[in-house]
Amino acid sequence: MTARKKWWEKKPVRFECQPDCFKCCAKPGIVYFEPAAIEKSAKFLKTSPEQFRSEFLKWDDGHWVHDVEKGKPCAFLIPTGCAIQQSKPLQCRAYPFWHENMNSESMWRFVGAFCPGIGIGPAVPMVTIRKFLNKFKL
Ligand code: SF4
Ligand code: SF4
């Protein structure tokens, strides 16, 4: 028996991150930092993983996370974008292709009301979407 196709496997899904937008970096919520992102970010900022964790992260339900509070963007957001672009966590790399956003086409459209990159630009290859969904599972 073949698995039923997901909605995004049946039609083109367009997305192009918009320059100077950064809305998703200012949205209140939690940024999960997987161990590799902690290691790489600490190295990039010329500090130790321990120092990076103690300065920017907290331990929450089995994960290291950075809190983004209402009215205060992510601590790594600078005027030109993400200060740790090269080492940013999987969660940020995968956005907006998160399971919760891709579960249904209506949810994707709902997220599109927030993220101006959704619905425009080139069609994103299915293999890329699948890769993000497989890598970032929270
Ligand atoms: S909200 Fe969308 S378009 Fe804006 S920076 Fe985030 S991913 Fe890019
Ligand atoms: S780590 Fe970088 S990409 Fe992720 S939310 Fe913060 S500023 Fe945005």
CB 123 within 8 A of CB 5: no
Distance CA(108)–CA(88), nearest Å, equals: 23
Answer whether 40 contacts ligand 2 (Cβ < 6 A).
no
Ligand nearest to the CA of 33: 2
Taking the centre of ligand 2 as the mean of its atom positions, its distance from the CA of residue 10, in whole angstroms, is 31
Answer whether 65 contacts ligand 2 (Cβ < 6 A).
no
Q: Is residue 4 one of the residues assigned to a domain?
A: no
- Containing H/E element for 30? strand 29-33
Taking the centre of ligand 1 as the mean of its atom positions, its distance from the CA of residue 13, in whole angstroms, is 15
Q: Is residue 32 one of the residues assigned to a domain?
A: yes
Q: Specify the DSSP class assigned to residue 31.
A: E
**b/e string for 59-78 if b means 16 or more Cβ within 10 A?**
eeeeebbbebeeeebbbbbe
Q: Is residue 91 one of the residues assigned to a domain?
A: yes
Residue 137 has a pLDDT of 83
Ligand nearest to the CA of 72: 2
Q: Is residue 2 one of the residues assigned to a domain?
A: no
Look up the pTM and report it.
0.94
CB 96 within 8 A of CB 24: yes
Closest residue by Cα to residue 130 from 107, 99, 106: 99
Query: What's the average pLDDT block by block, 10 residues per block, for the chain (138 residues)?
Result: 88 96 97 98 98 98 96 96 97 97 97 98 97 90
Q: Is residue 44 one of the residues assigned to a domain?
A: yes
CA 58 from chain centre, in angstroms, equals 18
Q: How many domains does the chain have?
A: 1
Q: Is residue 67 one of the residues assigned to a domain?
A: yes
Q: Is residue 10 one of the residues assigned to a domain?
A: no
Distance CA(97)–CA(73), nearest Å, equals: 21
Answer whether 23 contacts ligand 1 (Cβ < 6 A).
yes
Nearest-atom number in ligand 2 for the CA of 22 is 8
Long-range (24+ apart) CB contacts under 8 A made by 54-59 are 57/33
Write out the residue range of the structural domain in which residue 89 sits. 17-135
